[in-house]
Amino acid sequence: MTSLNNIRMFVRVYELENMSAAARDLQVSAAVASSRIAELERHLGIRLFTRTTRSIQPTEQGRIYYPKAVKVLEALEEAEAAVHEVTLNPRGSIFVSAPLGVGRRLIAPNVTQFHEKYPDVHVRLRLSDRRVDVTGEGLDVSFALGDLPDSGLRVRMLGDCPRVLCAAPAYVARRGMPRTGADLVAEAHDCLLLRFPGSTEFRWTLRTPEGAQKFDVKGPYACDDGDVLTEWALDGRGIVMKPVFDVAEHLASGALVPVCESTPPPDAHLACLFPHKRNQDPKSRLFIEFMADRIKAALRAREQVYQLPR
């Protein structure tokens, strides 16, 4: 009979399309990961993946095997979850993703407290400002900031986060103070853009007296890391759009100043996304409840550091 560890490894390699990434997720070496896949293939008598020096892709047999393997692991997780819930001793790993700013400022500080309360639950936290595929990447919980994707996921709203356009005083002294979104375009201001591979255009949605409008903004700097954009803004390189909680200290100290205050950006929605079946897992449910209360408290505390004029 094949090992469940081998099935888990197959599922993670299939979802992440990378042997090394799957090995890191399951905290084993790449050699162990490779041996587990090879052992599973020998047991089944088929090839599950086609390997090249640059990629690993599932074979037709691998694509057929994947949904069945997922069902086996989900059935096992549900059985274990039922037992652990009865014993009030949840255990296992939770795979969590969050945008960089949310993860660093709101999630990561509370992960250690969660582990102290539930020492048998291990949190695997991934931070990235890119859009993640919650189901495809095998995530249990994903935090999202902004417009929520249209998906079959369950959503737990955590709050609305005020956002601000801001720049360093040195930039404003050099380029002038834009008052509206129209000024950004007419005066060709340098806007610091959060972009990902495949982006072809960029627009900022701002509130105007006529309602929400989109403005085609441009700039010489773009990055897929929001913290890098903040550093560029502090260095006087341009104007950045950020949630207030992410730059509250810089606004309070004067290192950054609000711009375009006549046409501010709308608030961003902060939410927790998770697959329907994950809600049956007590450790995921405990993590979401634990984080929800603390995130709301952290948002209130950070927004007290600097409050936008209303």
Distance CA 248, CA 178 (A): 21
Report the distance separating Cα 140 and Cα 148, nearest Å.
Answer: 17
What's the confidence (pLDDT) of residue 198? 53
What secondary structure, in 3-state letters, does the chain show?
A: CCCHHHHHHHHHHHHHCCHHHHHHHCCCCHHHHHHHHHHHHHHHCCCCEEECCCCEEECHHHHHHHHHHHHHHHHHHHHHHHHHHHHCCCCEEEEEEECHHHHHHHHHHHHHHHHHHCCCEEEEEEECCCCCCCCCCCCCEEEEECCCCCCCCEEEEEEEECEEEEECHHHHHHHCCCCCHHHHHHCCCEECEECCCCCCCCEEEEEECCEEEEEECECCCEECCHHHHHHHHHCCCCEEEEEHHHHHHHHHHCCCEECCCCCCCCCEEEEEEECHHHHHCHHHHHHHHHHHHHHHHHHHHHHHHCCCCC
Total domain count, the chain: 3
pLDDT (0 to 100) of residue 278: 47
pLDDT (0 to 100) of residue 310: 62
Of the residues 88, 116, 150, which one is the last residue of a structural domain?
88
Same domain? For 153 and 172 the reply is no
Same domain, 81 and 223: no
pLDDT in tens, the chain (310 residues): 568 889 999 999 998 888 888 888 888 998 999 999 999 999 999 999 998 877 889 999 999 999 989 888 888 877 776 655 544 667 788 899 999 989 998 999 999 999 998 898 899 999 988 888 888 888 899 999 887 765 677 888 888 889 999 999 999 999 999 999 999 999 999 999 988 665 555 789 999 998 999 999 999 999 988 899 999 999 999 999 999 999 999 999 999 999 999 999 999 989 998 886 644 577 888 899 899 989 988 888 887 787 776 6
Same domain, 248 and 170: yes
Predicted confidence at residue 27, as pLDDT, reads 87
220 and 143 belong to one structural domain: no
**Are residues 262 and 167 part of one domain?**
yes
Do 10 and 146 lie in a common domain?
A: no
Domain that holds residue 94: 89-160+268-310
Residue-level pLDDT at 282: 78
Q: Are residues 218 and 173 in the same domain?
A: yes
Q: Which of 46, 63, 88 is the last residue in one of the domains?
A: 88
What is the sign of the dihedral through the CA atoms of 158, 192, 131 and 203?
Answer: positive
Domain boundary among 88, 107, 135: 88
Task: Please indicate, yes or no, whether residues 119 and 83 belong to a single structural domain of this protein.
Answer: no
Regarding whether 100 and 81 lie in a shared domain, the answer is: no
Taking the C-alpha atoms of residue 106 and residue 245, their distance in angstroms, rounded to an integer, is 9
Note whether 80 and 106 are same-domain residues. no
What is the value of pTM for the model shown? 0.69
Looking at residue 86, what is its pLDDT?
Answer: 44
Q: Look up the CATH number of the domain holding residue 69.
A: 1.10.10.10
**187 in the same domain as 219:** yes
Whether 211 and 233 share a structural domain: yes
Specify the CATH number for the domain of residue 184. 3.40.190.290
